[in-house]
Amino acid sequence: MTRKNKDASFFDQFYDLINKKAKRIDSSKLIDLAKLIRGVKLNSGKVIIIGNGGSAAIASHVSIDLTKAVNIRSVNFNEASLLTCFSNDYGYENWVERALDFYADNNDIVILISSSGQSQNIINGAKKALAMKLPLITLSGFSENNPLNGLGDINFWLDSKTYNIVESVHQMWLLSVVDFLIDED
């Protein structure tokens, strides 16, 4: 096999795997998420989306698209000053919980993204959202028995231990909901 064919084969396999993983979603869960998000707009609430690293980038992208393209208020917490302040004052494992204390309102929903489902700050944020009785959506991967999977009202789990696969599919699922909402208008 030539180098060019080997390179092309890698990408063909990579995209086939992402497509296969993404299609394993129960579309009724995506519809339920869309209904929750639509309800936020009707109740003058907002969507709060939080993640770490690549998941934070997904949170930013989805939050901006919900706000701009769907006209639903959405926020994410990727401001360096806020993250470093809350992490310094409350501990990194508690910054999400404290952000929800300061920014979440009764009519909001919370979407938490953690590829591994093991991020303590995200797990603590999930517990806080539950204590505040806010609808909670989780996205995780790696082990199905991770601590985040199962905490939400709607839980999305991807059977993969590869960060780029998990993050790519999480983004696809969330952005498909955005496009679904756009298409409804």
* pLDDT tens column, 99-108: 999 999 999 9
* pLDDT band, residue 145 (cuts 50/70/90): very high
All domains of the chain in start order, with CATH: 26-184 (3.40.50.10490)
Compute the distance between CA of residue 119 and CA of residue 121 in angstroms, rounded to an integer. Answer: 6
The whole model's pTM is what?
Answer: 0.94
Identify which of 148, 77, 87, 78 has the alpha carbon closest to the alpha carbon of residue 116: 148
Length of the chain: 185
Question: Is residue 141 within 8 Å of 117, Cβ to Cβ?
Answer: yes
Q: What angle do CA 90, 93, 98 make, to 5 degrees?
A: 50
